[in-house]
Chains A and B, each alone.
Chain A
Amino acid sequence: MKHLLTGNEAAARGAYEAGMMVGAAYPGTPSTEIFENLPQYGDSLYCEWAPNEKVATEVAYGAALAGVRAMCAMKHVGVNVAADPIFTASYNGVNGGFVIVSADDPSCHSSQNEQDNRHYAKAAKLIMIEPSDSQECKDFMKEAFDISERFNLPVMFRVTTRVCHSKSLVEFSERTEVPYKEYKRTIQNVASPAQALKNHPRLEQELKDVEAWGNTCGLNKVELNGTKIGVITASVAYQYAKEAFPEDTSFLKLGLTNPLPMDLIRDFAAKVETLYVVEELDPFMEEQIKAAGIPCIGKEKISNMFELNPEKLRAMVFGVEPDVKNLPVKAVPRPPALCPGCPHRGFFHVMGKDKNFVIAGDIGCYTLGSSKPLAAMDSVVCMGGGFSLAMGMSKAFELTGRTEKKVFGVLGDSTFFHSGMTGALDIIYNMGNVIPVVLDNSITGMTGQQDNPGSGETLMGKPAPAVRPENVLRSFGFENVIIVDPQDLKAMKKAVDDALASEVPAAIITRRPCLLLKKVKHDIGLCEVDPDKCRSCKMCLKVGCPAVFFKDGKATIDKTLCVGCTVCAQVCPFGAIERTR
């Protein structure tokens, strides 16, 4: 029987079937569901949410060194965080198979950039495998563990949003229990300078061995259909190219993309008149193929930005524009917004009122605090960057006499544990004039409610110690940690004023669970507008709630969306909005 699975579900199934024993990850779209789908195999394996991608990678790598098959998973920018252990793991080698899943996001569906992580495989000297659909996500995962052990190298399992989140049919197999490998203390695992110098030549030889094997391995497939056009492609771009190119096109579909099997590529190139390289984002394969002296067409025609699809390929390669009707009416933009009842709304509403506030934000649902009408955010760069960017800004303002600026660093509970803690430490250590704010909604929200060190539960559903951000901050030296319900606007305002007036280092924690969190009993109600009292001042629209809009000149609340948080009622100067149940 075949199952319709996302690539992520299939990758999880593949890890299970491959006898994977230890897994660690930090949630990040589009990778998250791989690990959400592992606890169902909890009788056979251990899996965890780690505080960040670096920790996840180290946990998995440690398990691999100890002799079991291990995997870590993260979104593309997570690999930036994890790069440190990854670059040395290839030098030290593995014992049990070690797979690093990198989930890239061409077109930035849910990311701050569209970096192409295939460069990491080359730079860190990893084997790289790229599946193109869900069946391959499952099958290649098993292959990844095998070749990691066979060649003593970590394997980057590189997927993209459309591989992760598209569903296609998958056939299951049984799990193969893989006996653990003997563990011995070996100096090869100690990355001292002297040992690194010995490990490096071994690593280069291993990569040469992989390339030689790659020329004949089953991960790479040649489909000879004609001699006129040949296409070298990998990942989901293969699926697009199959629909965009004529039926008599020959394909070299690569599953192993680092090191590239250059003999196989040369052999294929010799069989066709015109050779195209079809890949999303950067010319990763194309540049290497050209450097090997093989003429091919790639980014001359195919964009190095945004995800591809069959229609784009037809237009870029063959100049065939689709037949599309142009409607005279146009849709207005519908960007995402904070949910009705989102605890972050009260905080940003208060912060947006003072034009001298500088708010260094971070990655999470609260990035939406930057959108109109809240528009209360100055910068977003990366996970954990909120506190540290704020530190640099405050020093710059101080040194240049712009003391009217009040600088806040803002991030969520999961981001605090991820890498915000170190920024807070810098604020204390170097005496920054910054108020760090943790928006604690008790969960990792944006990626869909994953547990974290503060949530009191593990990925495998076991109760865990809940670490409190205030205890961490107090231990650092923030003597005045103000904990406030952000939905109480007066209290929220007072917390900000008190923190600014504090004579000792102050921090703010806004605490209210995410409304989507199922294990918490929420106080759900409904707010309604008394049209006789409404004077159409539109103050209620300034909170940016999807449930509040104007109809026939009066404020109106959508009953199907409102949860009765009362933030709009608190800002109404005429008492026209009341919670009715």
Chain B
Amino acid sequence: MSKVTSILLVGVGGQGAILVSKVLTQGLIEAGYDVKMSEVHGMSQRGGSVSTQVRFGEKVYSPIIGRGEADIMVAFEKMEAVRYAEFLKPDATVIVNDYEIVPMSVATGELAYPQGLTEELKENYNTLAINAGQIAIEQGNARSMNIVLFGAMVKALKMDDIDWEGVLRKVLKPSILEVNLKAFRAGYEAE
């Protein structure tokens, strides 16, 4: 079977992964790939842990992956990166947002938010940890955090032949385009 690349986007319901997957899939389709994508709806969206899977290649069958199958993970929240780490290939690339969202069990003091997450990820995977929220604020709008992460992912994908900025121009509303283009470039450059 020809090579299929699997991307895993993980985070907490409402963090903007849907827009990222939309831009990503649009670019991949324009580049001529077969694309499949899977996401969750309903109960699990209410502040719960969510994952979106995007797979592309010459021919893709399964819309979802299992353990040990993702090439790239983008984690919008750092504990979610660890939750889904078992889905990564041993040589996978991880882009992790250095950002915490406290679950209810931690807020009530019942459990503790785990420490040393990014260090653990760095030790095991090719990991880029960025403070996407801070970068987004520097570029003009905190809400572009998702596009900052998208920029970092595009660099990791090494698919510069796709006109990602052109895709952003098509998908985004004109009123938020400029700030998101800046966020995209800053994410691409982030180290």
Contacts and interface: CB of A to CB of B under 8 A. Distances in A.
A310 B45 contact: no
A365 B116 CA distance: 34
Nearest to B59: A242
B103 interface: yes
B44 A336 contact: yes
Contacts of A458: none
B62 A242 contact: yes
A405 interface: no
Nearest to B21: A167
Contacts of B121: 327
Interface string A326-349: 111111111111110000000000
A247 interface: yes
B124 interface: yes
Central interface residue in A4, A326, A372, A541, by most chain B CB within 10 Å = A4
Interface string A202-243: 000000000000000000000000000000000010111011
B171 to A, nearest CB: 12
B1 A243 contact: yes
Interface string B89-114: 11000000000001111111111111
B88 interface: yes
B140 interface: no
Interface residues on A, range: 35 or more
A309 B62 CA distance: 8
B139 to A, nearest CB: 18
Contacts of B110: 372
A323 interface: yes
A480 interface: no
A110 B41 contact: yes
Contacts of A327: 82, 85, 120-121, 124
A371 B67 CA distance: 29
B105 A310 contact: no
Given A4-B37, A329-B116, A110 B48 contact: no
A169 interface: yes
B120 A329 contact: yes
Nearest to B123: A327
Interface in A40-67: none
B117 interface: yes
Interface in A423-482: 446-448
A324 B84 CA distance: 11
Contacts of B1: 243, 247
A548 interface: yes
Interface in A517-575: 538, 541, 544, 546, 548-550
Given A322-B68, A325-B85, A550-B107, A168 B43 contact: no
B113 to A, nearest CB: 7
> Top 6 closest A-B pairs, CB basis?
A311-B66, A322-B68, A110-B42, A29-B42, A166-B63, A336-B48
28 contacts: A4-B25, A30-B42, A109-B43, A133-B36, A165-B40, A168-B63, A169-B29, A236-B62, A236-B63, A238-B61, A239-B61, A239-B63, A311-B65, A311-B69, A322-B66, A324-B68, A325-B85, A327-B85, A328-B120, A330-B114, A332-B112, A332-B113, A334-B48, A335-B104, A336-B47, A371-B104, A538-B108, A546-B107
Interface of B: 1, 12-13, 25-26, 29, 34-49, 60-69, 79-80, 82-83, 85-86, 88-90, 102-117, 120-121, 124-125
Interface of A: 2, 4, 29-30, 32-33, 109-110, 133, 162, 165-169, 236, 238-240, 242-243, 247, 309-312, 322-339, 365, 367-368, 371-373, 446-448, 538, 541, 544, 546, 548-550
Given A110-B42, A133-B63, A166-B63, 15 more contacts: A109-B41, A162-B63, A166-B38, A166-B64, A167-B63, A236-B63, A240-B62, A311-B68, A322-B67, A329-B115, A332-B106, A335-B104, A336-B43, A365-B46, A447-B42
